[in-house]
Amino acid sequence: MPSGPFEPPFDQFLATAEAVARARPDVDLAMAREVFEEAAVLLYNGLALEGLDEHDARSVVDGLCADLVGDDPGSAVRARTEATLADPGDLHDPRGVAAAYEVATRILQL
């Protein structure tokens, strides 16, 4: 598991903030970084990815990054949770991944 909130896979949150700020001129980079840094810290401290292997943890962070930039992040993460169980794809622990998404919705108050 990562040794800090900005180590992989949590580093993807900062990359997402930067990508969103580049793609959307109305988004302030400093504000986007602050929001995504806070998400990374909360999820890290909340042990949201605890018990997942590196592959599944990366998958959860990638999914959260995609969902958090949408119009309704809460609905998007809940839908992703259900989709994970319905079609786990290459996940090693689909139930653990779904649980991580559920924990993330609570931690981030989505």
Separation between Cα atoms, residue 8 and residue 81, nearest integer Å:
21
Selection from 86, 102, 103, 85 nearest residue 94 by Cα: 85
Q: Please provide residue 36's backbone torsions phi and psi, each rounded to the nearest 5 degrees.
A: -75, -30
CA dihedral over 7, 11, 13, 17, signed as positive or negative: positive
Q: What is the secondary structure of 52-72 as a DSSP string? A: --HHHHHHHHHHHHHHHTSS-
- Condensed to tens digits (0 to 9), the pLDDT of residues 64-103 reads 999 999 999 999 999 999 999 999 999 999 999 999 999 9
Which pLDDT belongs to residue 5? 75
| pLDDT bucket at 18, cuts 50 / 70 / 90 | very high
- Condensed to tens digits (0 to 9), the pLDDT of residues 36-52 reads 999 999 999 999 999 99
Separation between Cα atoms, residue 92 and residue 55, nearest integer Å:
8
- Condensed to tens digits (0 to 9), the pLDDT of residues 2-17 reads 557 789 999 999 999 9
In the chain, where the domains are located = 11-107
